[in-house]
């Protein structure tokens, strides 16, 4: 570490690119962050590991990848012109169109010249002498920036399971989040998918249509709910465009920044008939209505939750012909909504196909990957292709895997060994001028990404006005916020099972709810309040 800083502080030459702000990542957050900074006349650039923009929508190009929230509630809201000229084709848009959209935004606002592609970050070190950040990419390109904005996303660092023999497999293997750009042909192939999270549940029906045989290795069944996607007809398109203001106003008011909000009634206060009719009503609606539109107390009361969980189990059983198989697909030992609810299109019917089988690896665990396929405790499954739909080291993973070192030389990984410590999710003490617009708020991603990126732009603008060069959260503010954030999840259903929400899908990671859970409106109010109080909780130099 000391060596790296010395190397930079002695470098007073033009080989090191000088920037006011360096944004890491050209995903949904980074693109809008760059736009905002350039609007304010700040000399800013994105360093992006991929060869194109899109972030999540660049990397996760597996068959079936799509939005689970409405295309028009996930879209950027900052430009009326953009809203009016972009035509979403589907209510829940697929990955190819999402990637096109983000490319369109990049070009419309002339951002591409300020993006350095194929620039995977090797190190980000605070230089005590210059008071700036020294950044180096894996191919040796170097930059010095006053501000670093780590727009690295929340589901970026992938989770490859540590299964013995994983490198010995002779066929093709893919992680869903590193899917190749060329289409993968599964015709006549024996394919295995490991995992049954939201990703696998989108992918499995698509692969099953093509594969010779598909074996799904399931450890934990899911409460998946029908997405009910549809093409957007011309008259609907106009209505969507005419009602953007209302759509975003609605999202601003809801707990999760979605178009759906919890019903204020308790599931326990209504009659069984009213309850069942309401469950049927939300189940028939598209998207997350079946989760965020339910009785509010399904997220806090075990009793209320169990009523809905049983309703969902019944819905799963109705769709699978083989009763024994249906039972394996029905979750029984954790509450509905404790894991992120996957949205599906024909997922359960896929198991009625002759070319699809389910391997219950809870019953008979995976022992190893062999040159021929997957070996479980009681059989070996010969495969041509293995797909790892095994998820992510979420929220903190990309930051802790990157070599980011603050004022004292400590890395984020070291500092967060016992869980993340931030103020407002956006800064961590001893890492001055480092902003994390990371989306660590339980929120429809773009809705809160806009809030925090705008807040960062305003903050930098404020600093320029006042002549400040350095901003840093205080340890006191960080301690108070971390304690407050951790206290919010007490009693919440999320804590009742293991998932990436809880960090417990990653061996050795501290088990705690990783999102700020006070709701999107409370987070937005906090941002506004802190700014109005001259950035209370931060100190400037
Ligand atoms: O990852 P996951 P994901 N042996 O962690 C299993 C977002 N997303 O990529 O549950 C066997 O949910 C693991 O099993 P278990 C969305 O927020 C968004 O599917 O740990 N199995 C689980 O089944 C989502 O929540 C969209 O027992 C192993 C699976 O792998 C998030 O991405 C679309 C294993 C991992 O599931 C992550 O979803 C899709 C092992 N060793 C996804 N290791 C949108 O709509 C892991 N598993 C925007």
The C-alpha R_g of the chain, in whole angstroms, comes to: 24
Pocket test for ligand 1, best of 99, 505, 507, 509 (most atoms within 8 A of CB): 505
What is the predicted pLDDT for the residue at 439? 78
Residues 399 and 452 in one domain: yes
Residues in CB range of 137: below 8 A, 6 or more apart = 47, 116, 119, 120, 121, 122
**In Å, how far from its chain's centre is CA 493?**
20
Residues 216 and 346 in one domain: yes
Total domains, the chain? 2
Residue nearest to ligand 1 atom 1, measured at CA: 391
Residue nearest to ligand 1 atom 37, measured at CA: 391
Residues 193 and 100 in one domain: no
Q: Measured from the CA of 163, which atom of ligand 1 is nearest? A: 41
Residue 200 Cα, ligand 1 centroid: separation in angstroms? 7
**In Å, how far from its chain's centre is CA 269?**
35
Residues 189 and 148 in one domain: no
Q: Measured from the CA of 220, which atom of ligand 1 is nearest? A: 27
What is the predicted pLDDT for the residue at 1? 31
For residue 198, what are the domain limits?
Answer: 158-222+342-391
Q: What are the counts of helices (DSSP H) followed by strands (DSSP E) for the chain? A: 19, 20
Residue 305 Cα, ligand 1 centroid: separation in angstroms? 22
Q: Measured from the CA of 362, which atom of ligand 1 is nearest? A: 27
Residues 174 and 110 in one domain: no
Cα–Cα distance, 440 to 257 (Å, whole number): 13
Coil/strand/helix, residue 12: coil
Cα–Cα distance, 249 to 472 (Å, whole number): 32
403 belongs to a structural domain = yes
22 belongs to a structural domain = yes
Residue nearest to ligand 1 atom 17, measured at CA: 340
CATH number of residue 82's parent domain: 3.50.50.60
What is the predicted pLDDT for the residue at 73? 97
Residue 189 Cα, ligand 1 centroid: separation in angstroms? 23
Residues 466 and 483 in one domain: yes
Single out the residue in 391, 424, 457 at which a domain terminates. Answer: 391
Single out the residue in 361, 391, 421 at which a domain terminates. Answer: 391
Pocket test for ligand 1, best of 69, 174, 197 (most atoms within 8 A of CB): 197
29 belongs to a structural domain = yes
Pocket of ligand 1 (CB under 6 A): 67-68, 155, 161, 163, 194-200, 202, 217, 219-220, 340, 361, 366, 389-392, 500, 505
**Within 13 Å, how many C-alpha atoms sit on residue 525's CB side?**
7
Q: Measured from the CA of 200, which atom of ligand 1 is nearest? A: 19
359 belongs to a structural domain = yes
241 belongs to a structural domain = no
Helix segments in 46-192, DSSP class H: 56-59, 71-74, 80-85, 95-108
Helix axis angle for 272-283 and 302-319, nearest 10°, is 60
What is the predicted pLDDT for the residue at 12? 41
What is Dmax (Cα atoms) for the chain? 75
Pocket test for ligand 1, best of 161, 215, 386, 391 (most atoms within 8 A of CB): 391
Residue nearest to ligand 1 atom 29, measured at CA: 195
Pocket test for ligand 1, best of 166, 195, 442 (most atoms within 8 A of CB): 195
Residues 357 and 213 in one domain: yes
Residues 372 and 514 in one domain: no
Residues 438 and 504 in one domain: yes
Q: Measured from the CA of 65, which atom of ligand 1 is nearest? A: 33
Any idea what DSSP says for residue 94? Answer: B
As a whole number, the mean pLDDT across the chain is: 96
200 belongs to a structural domain = yes
420 belongs to a structural domain = yes
484 belongs to a structural domain = yes
Regions in the chain scoring below 50 on pLDDT: 1-13
Q: Classify residue 541 as exposed, middle or buried by CB count within 10 Å of its CB (0-12, 13-18, 19+).
A: exposed
Question: What is the DSSP annotation of 206-256?
Answer: HHHHHBSEEEEEESS----EE----BPPHHHHHHHHHTHHHHHHHHHHSTT
Q: Measured from the CA of 177, which atom of ligand 1 is nearest? A: 9
Residues 402 and 471 in one domain: yes
Q: Are 387 and 191 in contact (CB under 8 A)?
A: yes
What is the predicted pLDDT for the residue at 294? 98
Residue 302 Cα, ligand 1 centroid: separation in angstroms? 24
Cα–Cα distance, 411 to 125 (Å, whole number): 9
Residues in CB range of 56: below 8 A, 6 or more apart = 27, 28, 153, 155, 156
Single out the residue in 391, 424, 453 at which a domain terminates. Answer: 391
Residues 383 and 426 in one domain: no
- Write a three-state SS string for 309-372: HHHHHHHHHHHCCCHHHHHHHCCCCCCCCCCCCCEECCHHHHCCCCCEEEEECCCCCEEEECCC
Residues 409 and 495 in one domain: yes
Q: Are 394 and 155 in contact (CB under 8 A)?
A: yes
């Amino acid at each position: 570490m000391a060596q790296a800083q010395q190397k930079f502080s002695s470098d007073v030459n033009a080989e090191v690119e000088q920037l006011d702000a360096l944004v890491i990542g050209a995903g949904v957050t980074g693109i809008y962050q760059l736009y905002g900074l350039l609007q304010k006349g700040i000399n800013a650039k994105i360093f992006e590991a991929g060869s194109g923009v899109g972030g999540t929508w660049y990397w996760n190009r597996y068959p079936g990848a799509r939005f689970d929230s409405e295309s028009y509630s996930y879209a950027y809201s900052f430009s009326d012109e953009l809203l009016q000229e972009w035509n979403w084709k589907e209510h829940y848009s697929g990955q190819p169109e999402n990637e096109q959209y983000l490319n369109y935004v990049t070009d419309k606002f002339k951002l591409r010249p300020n993006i350095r592609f194929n620039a995977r970050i090797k190190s980000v070190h605070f230089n005590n002498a210059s008071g700036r950040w020294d950044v180096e990419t894996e191919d040796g390109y170097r930059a010095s920036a006053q501000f670093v904005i780590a727009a690295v996303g929340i589901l970026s660092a992938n989770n490859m399971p540590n299964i013995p023999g994983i490198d010995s497999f002779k066929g093709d293997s893919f992680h869903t989040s590193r899917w190749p750009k060329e289409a993968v042909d599964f015709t006549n192939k024996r394919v295995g998918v490991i995992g049954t999270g939201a990703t696998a549940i989108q992918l499995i029906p698509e692969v099953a249509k093509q594969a010779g045989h598909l074996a799904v290795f399931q450890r934990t069944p899911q409460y998946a709910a029908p997405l009910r996607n549809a093409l957007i007809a011309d008259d609907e398109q106009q209505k969507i465009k005419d009602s953007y203001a209302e759509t975003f106003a609605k999202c601003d008011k809801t707990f999760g920044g979605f178009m759906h909000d919890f019903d204020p009634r308790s599931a326990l206060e209504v009659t069984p008939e009213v309850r069942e009719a309401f469950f049927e009503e939300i189940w028939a609606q598209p998207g997350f209505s079946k989760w965020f539109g339910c009785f509010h107390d399904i997220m806090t009361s075990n009793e209320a939750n169990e009523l809905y969980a049983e309703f969902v189990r019944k819905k799963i059983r109705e769709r699978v012909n083989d009763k024994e198989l249906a039972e394996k697909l029905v979750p029984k030992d954790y509450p509905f909504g404790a894991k992120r609810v996957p949205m599906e299109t024909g997922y359960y019917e896929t198991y009625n196909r002759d070319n699809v089988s389910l391997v219950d690896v809870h019953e008979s665990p995976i022992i190893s990957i062999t040159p021929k396929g997957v070996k479980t405790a009681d059989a070996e499954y010969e495969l041509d292709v293995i797909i790892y739909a095994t998820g992510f080291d979420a929220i903190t993973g990309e930051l802790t895997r990157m070599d980011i070192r603050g004022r004292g030389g400590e890395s984020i990984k070291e500092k967060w060994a016992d869980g993340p410590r931030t103020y407002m999710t956006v800064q961590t003490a001893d890492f001055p001028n480092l902003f994390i617009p990371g989306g660590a708020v339980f929120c429809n991603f773009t809705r809160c990404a806009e809030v925090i990126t705008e807040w960062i732009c305003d903050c930098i603008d404020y600093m320029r006005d006042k002549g400040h060069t350095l901003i840093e959260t205080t340890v006191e503010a960080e301690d108070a916020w971390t304690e407050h954030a951790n206290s919010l999840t007490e009693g919440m259903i999320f804590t009742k099972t293991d998932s990436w929400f809880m960090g417990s899908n990653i061996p050795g990671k501290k088990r705690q709810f990783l999102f700020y859970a006070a709701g999107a409106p409370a987070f937005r109010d906090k941002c506004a309040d802190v700014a109005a109080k001259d950035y209370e909780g931060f100190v400037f130099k």
